[in-house]
Amino acid sequence: MRKVTTIALDIQGRICTGCNNCVVACPVNALELTVVNPVTRKKTYNVLNGKAVVIDEDVCNGCGICLMVCPQRAITLTTE
């Protein structure tokens, strides 16, 4: 029976500065820097206040490159 590995990537919003390093470095394009308009709930790509890195967990392969390029150490990666 094959063991399934679960990857959990967590970005601390209070620490993240929105520098975009992780988004650019991700080899599988699993990260996106965006904000959500609180009124319309639509994403906007003009990063102002309330920026957030969004993770596509179906795409993330757990390589950890994003951790290495984050100057704030705002990203943690765990596998099970």
The total number of structural domains that make up the chain: 1
Residue 1 maps to a domain: no
Residue 36 maps to a domain: yes
Residue 28 maps to a domain: yes
The range of the structural domain enclosing residue 56 comes to: 7-79
- The reported pTM is 0.72
Residue 34 maps to a domain: yes
CATH of the domain at 73: 3.30.70.20
For residues 76 and 6, is the Cβ–Cβ distance under 8 A?
Answer: no
Say if residue 2's pLDDT is above 90.
Answer: no
Residue 46 maps to a domain: yes
Residue 17 maps to a domain: yes
Model pLDDT for residues 20-68, shown as the tens digit of each residue: 899 899 999 888 887 666 677 665 544 434 556 777 778 888 899 999 9
Half-sphere exposure of 7 (CA within 13 A, CB side): 14
